[in-house]
Amino acid sequence: MMRIAREPLTHFLIVGLVFWLAAAHYRTVTDGHRIEVTRQTAERLTAGYRAEYGAAPSPARLEQLVDQYVTGEILYREGMARGLAERDEIVRRRVIQKTAFLEDGTGNPPAPTQAALEAWYRAHAADYAAPGRVRFSHVFFAITPGDEAKARARAAAVLRQLDPATVRAPDEGDPFPDLYDFTGFGPDEARRLFGDSEMATALFAAPAGRWSGPFRSAYGWHLVRVSAAEPGHAQPFEAVRGRVLADWTENARNQAGNRRMAALRARYTVVRSDR
């Protein structure tokens, strides 16, 4: 054994092995297509999220943040490979955005055929239906700080006393900063006035001819009396062809962008050591 250890060939093999291991380690560390998500990476993403939103992200949200980080790192490295900026953390975000813009602008999808547009229209018919509209009056109950339940209780008490035949009763509640009576009111108008709230949705499901509620809005609580409701209805293809074309084109661009991003991702190895 000692004789083998003293052999020059043995020394040569040992030195060769050391160099091979060092080269393999160097390739691993410097591989431009290897992205390692460490525990420190996850902690930095968590700290940034907490600083912005005041609470730590949920596990599902953290996974989304990690995925966004990986996407950003890929776009950043692609941008650097194209010489868009020097390697500088300050301009990293701009490099990501610029690379994404260049990737997105590699060409518009070919114009769709009439058959393709009509197929899209049939598959998404609900998106192009004319929305339902209502005529209604409401009673408003304002919320003071710390009195959410009290305002709702006031609204419920008034509801029990209102005669279904009473068409309008704004004086039973509080002053409202807009109108009390609306005609031809659609979902878009409802969201603009009442926010993305229970009130904006309940208007189109409330029974006609009687008071209902209370429904919460961005302002407070409401009682509603719908006097007439016009249901939504399908619109012919030609009436909405412009919207169909815009939606089809946006979808085609998104799919093309997803394919390009998938091709870029396939060139990278993502190593997770943060779990």
- Residue 34, φ and ψ in degrees, nearest 5: -115, 120
Which DSSP category does 34 fall into?
E
Q: Give the number of other CB atoms < 10 A from CB of residue 125.
A: 13
pLDDT digits (tens, 9 = 90+) for 170-218: 999 999 999 999 999 999 999 999 999 999 999 999 999 999 999 999 9
Is pLDDT at 95 greater than 80 in this prediction?
Answer: no
**pLDDT band with cut points at 50, 70 and 90 for residue 107:** low
Beta sheet of 181-185, edge-to-edge order: 181-185, 133-142, 220-230, 211-216
How would you label 67-93 residue by residue, b for 16+ Cβ within 10 Å and e otherwise?
A: eebbebbbbbbbbbeeebbeeeeeebe
13: exposed, middle or buried (C-beta count within 10 Å: 0-12, 13-18, 19+)? exposed
Q: CA triplet 13, 15, 19: central angle to 5 degrees?
A: 115
- Residue 261, φ and ψ in degrees, nearest 5: -65, -35
Q: Whole-prediction pTM value?
A: 0.53
Q: In whole angstroms, what is the distance from residue 225 CA to residue 18 CA? A: 84
- pLDDT above 70 covers what percent of the chain? 86
- Find the helix or strand (DSSP H, E) in which 227 lies: strand 220-230
Q: Are strands 181-185 and 269-273 parallel, antiparallel or unpaired?
A: unpaired
Q: In whole angstroms, what is the distance from residue 137 CA to residue 135 CA? A: 7
For residue 267, give both structure tokens: 């060139």
pLDDT digits (tens, 9 = 90+) for 108-154: 788 999 999 999 999 999 899 988 999 999 999 999 887 889 999 99
For residue 107, give both structure tokens: 């060409």
Cis peptide before 214 (omega within 30 of 0): yes
**pLDDT band with cut points at 50, 70 and 90 for residue 59:** very high
- Residue 143, φ and ψ in degrees, nearest 5: -110, 125
pLDDT digits (tens, 9 = 90+) for 26-49: 344 445 688 999 999 999 999 999
